[in-house]
């Protein structure tokens, strides 16, 4: 009998401090009206000094374990999707293993920018299907406020901080629950459309996020649409089978574009971009946690997740809750 990765637990963490568009408009040549109209963003959460990629990831993971009713001793691996780790090493995931009290596990970070959670989900699923792990926590944790050029209105208004986590557990596929298909893509030729202009290994290290927003937008709608088609086709399912679209939350106009393509009404799309802004790899697990806990996403629902980010990287994942 084949093994499936079921989504057994959900958790998230948002920094205490909320920054409104109006607050940003006091420091930048922008306005609440522009930000809402072009992106759908109304506010974002920004870390304080005591909140880090590790602390947020650990809080989200603890909540996800509680939800699943799984003890830390049963965890085989932690994968953290992040492009903003606290340290070059140890990996965020290894720090999280320690915070959770996992003694017999392994862990590593995955850097695929805003697509990181889909990449990490797909990687964890491969470990589970191969029989190498039975319980894996997949986390997205990001502190983009620390890589933003706060004088650049073109990017500073778009991002927020936060973390989300999902517990994947190996089960036999009789119940037809769990991850059904994932697809990953990358195109390095488009690497200069969205990047951070430095890292620890570069002498000219500065480390600010740079983006050609309009170009990324154009790629996002077309690449995400073909990616979700590919994933549904692989599963032998169609748009009408999907109960919930849980997209990466970069811009409400991108989300609406993909929903239109899928012929899904916006009532069946989980939207958090208005309150969280773009939290990169954390945005999908944050949205999932919210919609599962408030009862919108229910057991048996078919959910479609998709994301595109720096690389460019993109991908999608289909799962039955």
Binding site for ligand UT7 (CB under 6 A): 30, 34-35, 38-39, 114, 153-154, 157, 213-214, 216-217, 220, 250-251, 254, 278, 308-309
310/81 Cα distance (integer angstroms): 13
Q: How far is the CB of 146 from ligand UT7 (least distance, A)?
A: 17
Q: CB-wise, 172 or 222, nearer to ligand UT7? A: 222
Strand partners, 20: 43
Q: How far is the CB of 9 from ligand UT7 (least distance, A)?
A: 26
CA distance 120 to 260: 27
In the bound state with ligand UT7, the residue whose beta carbon lies nearer, of 127 and 217, is: 217
| Closest residue to bound ligand UT7 by CB | 213
Tokens standing for residue 249? 């939350």
CB 113 → ligand UT7: shortest distance, Å? 7
Set 45, 183, 248, 276: catalytic member: 248
Q: Of 182 and 278, which CB lies nearer to ligand UT7 in the complex structure?
A: 278
Establish whether 278 is a catalytic residue.
yes
183 is catalytic: no
Core vs surface per residue 171-202: b (16+ CB within 10 A) or e: beeeeebbbbbbbbbeeeebeebbbbeeeeee
E strands within the chain?
Answer: 3-13, 17-20, 43-46, 77-81, 106-110, 135-143, 161-172, 178-186, 194-196, 209-211, 244-247, 302-309, 313-320
Q: Which is catalytic among the residues 114, 183, 251, 276?
A: 114
The CB-of-23 to ligand UT7 minimum distance in angstroms stands at: 13
Nearer to ligand UT7 by Cβ, of 6 and 313: the residue is 313
Cβ-in-10-Å burial (0-12, 13-18, 19+) of 296 comes to middle
**251 tagged catalytic:** no
Q: Which residues are catalytic?
A: 114, 248, 278
């Amino acid at each position: 009998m084949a093994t499936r990765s079921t989504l057994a637990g959900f958790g998230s963490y948002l920094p205490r401090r909320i920054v409104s568009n109006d607050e940003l408009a006091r420091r930048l040549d922008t306005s609440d009206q522009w930000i809402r109209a072009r992106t759908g963003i109304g506010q974002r959460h920004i870390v304080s000094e005591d909140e880090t990629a590790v602390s947020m990831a650990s809080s989200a993971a603890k909540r996800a374990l509680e939800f699943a009713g799984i003890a830390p001793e049963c965890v085989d691996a932690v994968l953290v999707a992040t492009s903003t780790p606290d340290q070059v090493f140890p990996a965020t995931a290894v720090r999280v293993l320690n915070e959770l009290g996992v003694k017999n596990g392994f862990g590593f970070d995955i850097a695929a920018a805003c697509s990181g959670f889909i990449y990490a989900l797909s990687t964890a699923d491969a470990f589970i299907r191969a029989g190498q792990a039975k319980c894996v926590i997949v986390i997205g944790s990001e502190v983009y406020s620390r890589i933003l050029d706060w004088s650049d209105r073109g990017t500073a208004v778009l991002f927020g901080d936060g973390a989300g986590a999902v517990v994947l557990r190996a089960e036999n596929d009789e119940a037809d629950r769990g991850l059904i298909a994932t697809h990953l893509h990358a195109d390095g030729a488009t690497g200069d459309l969205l990047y951070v202009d430095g890292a620890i290994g570069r002498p000219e290290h500065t480390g600010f996020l740079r983006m050609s927003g309009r170009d990324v937008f154009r790629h996002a709608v077309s690449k995400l649409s073909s990616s979700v088609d590919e994933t549904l086709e692989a599963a032998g399912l169609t748009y009408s089978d999907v109960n919930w679209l849980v997209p990466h939350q970069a811009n409400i106009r991108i989300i609406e574009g993909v929903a239109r393509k899928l012929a899904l009404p916006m009532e069946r799309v989980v939207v958090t971009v208005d309150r969280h802004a773009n939290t990169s790899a954390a945005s999908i697990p944050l949205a999932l946690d919210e919609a599962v806990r408030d009862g919108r996403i229910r057991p048996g629902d078919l959910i479609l997740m998709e994301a595109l980010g720096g690389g460019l990287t993109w991908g999608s994942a289909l799962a039955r809750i």
